[in-house]
Structure 1
Amino acid sequence: MSGRGLLGWPTWVGVVVEDLGSQRRFWGQLLGEPDSDAGPDYVQFDMGDGRRFELIERSKEPEYDRVRFQVGFEVDDIHKVRDELIKRGVEPITEIVADANTPWAYFRDPEGNVFEIKQRTSSTAS
C-alpha cells in the first residue's frame, strides 16, 4: 500500500477491444512488439518499470459485457486487501483466483467498471 489509500497507482491498464488481431497490430506499431505474456484473448505490452498496457478481447460472459477498460493494482496481501474492499462496500465479482501462481480477483466500482487486484510477487516488487 502507498500510505495514501488502500490501493496505489495502477500497474497496468487494459482496454477491451472487438478485434484483438487488428488492435495488436495497431498498438504494436506504436508501442513495439508485445511481450511474451499473451493468451488467446489478451496481449500485454511491457511499458518498462513494471507497468503494462493490455489489450483484452471483449468477453461474451454477461457479467463483463459492459467492460471497456480495466485497471489493475498490485497489492502486498491480496487476502487483506480483498477483505477490506468488501468491508468498504466494494462489489466483488470473483473470489481470489490462483492463476499461473499469481493470485488475482475482480471487483466492480459503483458505475459497473471492473478493476483487478493482483498479488505482488518478488519479481514484480519495485
Structure 2
Amino acid sequence: MPMAVVHVHGPLDHATSARLEAGIEQLWERVSGGCLVLDLQQVTFCDSTGLSRLITAFADARQRQTTLLLAALPLFLHRTLEPTGLTPFLPVRDSLAQALSEAKARCAHTDGQQPSS
C-alpha cells in the first residue's frame, strides 16, 4: 500500500493553510487507499483555518479510504484541540516514529502482508 509523510513547518493559518491543502491534494491519488502521515512537530502556530484544514484532510482521507495520522503535535496544538472536542476523532500519535510504525503496519495489513522491519 502507498504511504507518504508531509512535514509541516511554521504557522498553519489563513496565510499558509492553502499550501498544505495543495500539497495534500497532490498526494491523494498516490496514497489513496494507503496511509498519509502529517508530521506537525515543527508547527509554530495554528488558527481556526489551520484546524479546519486538518479536519478537512481527515474527512478527505476517510472518503478516499486512506488512513490519515497526525504525528508529533506541539503542546500548544494539543491544548488547542482538547477544548474543541476533536481529539477523540482525529488520529493523533505522540511521535513521527509511532505514526510511521502504525502506518506501515496498517498498510501492510491492508495488503495482506506482514509488516516488515
Greater share of residues in helix: 2
Which of the two has greater strand per residue?
1
Tell which structure's C-alpha radius of gyration is larger: 1
Q: TM-score range by the shorter chain?
A: under 0.3
TM-score, reference length from structure 1? 0.26
